Amino acid sequence: MTATRILVLNSGSSSVKYQLIDMADHSRLATGLAERIGEDTSTLTHRPPAGGEPRERRGRLADHDAALKAVAEELAADGLGLDSPELAAIGHRVVHGGLKFTEPTLIDEVVLKEVERLVPVAPLHNPANITGIRTAQRLRPDLPQIAVFDTAFHSTMPEHAARYAIDVKTADEHRVRRYGFHGTSHAYVSRKTAELLGKDPAETNVIVLHLGNGASASAVRGGRCVDTSMGLTPLEGLVMGTRSGDIDPAVVFHLGRVAGMSMDEVDELLNKRSGMAGLCGENDMREIRRRVEEGDAAATLAFEIYIHRLKKYIGAYYAVLGTVDAVVFTAGVGENAAPVREAAVEGLAELGLAVDGELNAAGGREPRLISPRDARVKVAVVPTDEELEIAEQTYALVTGG
Ligand SMILES: Nc1ncnc2c1ncn2[C@@H]1O[C@H](COP(=O)(O)OP(=O)(O)O)[C@@H](O)[C@H]1O
Ligand SMILES: CC(=O)OP(=O)(O)O
Ligand SMILES: [Mg+2]
């Protein structure tokens, strides 16, 4: 029997998303999500193979190790346990790969050490990724474990986009530069967008707006990233669920010197108590929109700030690319929040950008255009599929394909 199944683990700061995919036909044998890890209200939602009812487990999952063990139990209950000989490999999303990792990589102790060394520049993500890998290694020590890095797609960015305008020697010594994140999603979505437009990716320019809890924009020219909004860490750029995105770096000195905050306190403020949560006490766009509809002033201002930042990046990347074939929305907010898409391109008719109200309001899981039929620049919604992309890269590596 050939092993054709890949388990993909996407371990986030407080969640684990997973999918078991059969690469023979791309069928999803199981998918699931463990949320609020570390809290008393953890939940694990497991979706078994087609036709089966989703199952939910409630109750504390103390850490990522506990969460993954629960995931393994759920898979086993469907006869899809990690001991299955049909499992070819486990693919892990790893957020920060630094300068070293620009390709999918077979994980060994040297690789893990490097991922560990990068924890300070991905403090919400790399620790969870490492725990995911270690637990998976313990459960199946004989199986290849492959890391697919969020930073990889951005590694070909031109130097003028990747470098910050700071002293070169200091920057080089400490590897301070723009790495960019969500690369697996930006790569997948930009390729799918070219397909949707019926164009060769090598001749297509797109602005990808990946709007989830973490959010980032990228400018993709002919299939290559030429700029992206996240930087040394996933803190820079757009306004996010709990992260500030762009601020004057002197805010950090000011909070240290004048407000007496420690480095760790400022770090925690900007990563966990900022963004939409900091502005209006809520990071879920569904709830924010509900409050905006009710006339809530804090939620309305937070929404306006979110959109204002998004517009600035659309304008900036339009200028970077020169000609744009499509602006594409993806991830939880981008795929589902029609008001965000409408507001982001409002007033940009001079740039050839507009959405059609009806097309924008229609739902669906398929890639689709939402701009008016004759639009010069297309606006699209393309659901991301980081897990499938990770599974494909993992399978290609282990099968030598
Ligand atoms: N129907 C919806 N309308 C608006 N926002 C939504 C909707 N569904 C999901 N979201 C948003 O998507 C976010 C999660 O996106 P996702 O891409 O899964 O993020 P992450 O991978 O960072 O956890 C949630 O915070 C929520 O605000
Ligand atoms: C890099 C990053 O911000 O990832 P996420 O959106 O999953 O938090
Ligand atoms: Mg995500």
- Looking up residue 336, the CATH number of its domain turns out to be 3.30.420.40
Both 231 and 106 in a single domain?
A: no
Given a cut of 80, whether residue 114 has pLDDT beyond it is yes
Nearest C-alpha neighbor of 238 from the set 247, 227, 226, 250: 247
């990724």: which residue's tokens? 129
Residue-level pLDDT at 1? 64
Joined together, the tokens standing for residue 212 give: 């989830």
Both 116 and 260 in a single domain?
A: no
Both 143 and 217 in a single domain?
A: no
Both 319 and 242 in a single domain?
A: yes
Structural domain boundaries enclosing 288: 199-386
| Domain presence at residue 76 | yes
- Of 189, 213, 330, 386, the residue with max ligand 2 atoms within 8 A of its CB, to mutate for a pocket test, comes to 213
Given a cut of 80, whether residue 51 has pLDDT beyond it is no
Q: For the chain, give the mean pLDDT.
A: 96
Among 33-42, 48-57, 257-266, the range with the most confident prediction by mean pLDDT is 257-266
Q: 45 pairs with which residues across the strands?
A: 33, 56
| Domain presence at residue 191 | no
Q: Ligand 2: distance of its center to the CA of 213 in Å?
A: 7
| Domain presence at residue 185 | no
- 132 vs 12, higher pLDDT: 132
Q: Is the CB of 285 under 6 A from ligand 1?
A: yes
Q: What is the mean pLDDT of residues 1-28?
A: 92
Neighbours of ion ligand 3 (CB under 5 A): 212
Containing 270, the helix (H) or strand (E) segment is: helix 263-272
How many residues does this entry show for the chain? Answer: 401
pLDDT digits (tens, 9 = 90+) for 218-262: 999 999 999 999 999 999 999 999 999 999 999 999 999 999 999
Question: What is the C-alpha separation between 148 and 137, in angstroms, rounded?
Answer: 16
| Domain presence at residue 294 | yes
Q: Is the CB of 214 under 6 A from ligand 1?
A: yes
Residue-level pLDDT at 14? 82
Band (12; pLDDT cuts 50, 70, 90): confident
| Domain presence at residue 101 | yes
Residue-level pLDDT at 58? 95
Q: What is the mean pLDDT of residues 26-35?
A: 94
Residue-level pLDDT at 2? 85
Last residue of a domain, which of 149, 174, 208?
149
pLDDT digits (tens, 9 = 90+) for 283-309: 999 999 999 999 999 999 999 999 999
Q: Ligand 2: distance of its center to the CA of 2 in Å?
A: 34
Q: Is the CB of 287 under 6 A from ligand 1?
A: no
Last residue of a domain, which of 124, 149, 174?
149
Given a cut of 90, whether residue 39 has pLDDT beyond it is no
Containing 17, the helix (H) or strand (E) segment is: strand 16-22
Both 131 and 257 in a single domain?
A: no
Q: Ligand 3: distance of its center to the CA of 350 in Å?
A: 32
User: Closest ligand 2 atom to the C-alpha of 210?
Assistant: 6
Residue-level pLDDT at 132? 93
Both 84 and 216 in a single domain?
A: no
What three-state secondary structure class fits 182?
coil
Q: Answer for the pair 93, 212: CB distance below 8 angstroms, yes or no.
A: no
Both 132 and 228 in a single domain?
A: no
| Domain presence at residue 194 | no
Pocket, ligand 2, Cβ cutoff 6 A: 12, 95, 125, 150, 181-182, 212-214, 234
* Dihedral pair phi/psi, residue 202, rounded to 5°: -70, -15
Both 141 and 206 in a single domain?
A: no
Nearest C-alpha neighbor of 264 from the set 256, 12, 254: 256
| Domain presence at residue 171 | no
Both 103 and 249 in a single domain?
A: no
Residue-level pLDDT at 364? 87
- ipTM for this model: 0.98
Band (383; pLDDT cuts 50, 70, 90): very high
Q: Which residues are catalytic?
A: 150
The Cα angle at residue 36 between residues 72 and 244, in degrees rounded to 5: 130
Both 123 and 248 in a single domain?
A: no
- Of 8, 188, 213, the residue with max ligand 1 atoms within 8 A of its CB, to mutate for a pocket test, comes to 213
Both 90 and 212 in a single domain?
A: no
pLDDT digits (tens, 9 = 90+) for 78-88: 999 999 999 99
| Domain presence at residue 217 | yes
Both 113 and 259 in a single domain?
A: no
Q: Is the CB of 340 under 6 A from ligand 1?
A: no
Q: Domain total for the chain?
A: 2
- Of 36, 189, 333, the residue with max ligand 1 atoms within 8 A of its CB, to mutate for a pocket test, comes to 333
- Give the long-range contacts of residues 246-252, CB within 8 A, separation 24 or more: 246/309
Given a cut of 80, whether residue 203 has pLDDT beyond it is yes
- 401 vs 255, higher pLDDT: 255
Q: Ligand 2: distance of its center to the CA of 57 in Å?
A: 24
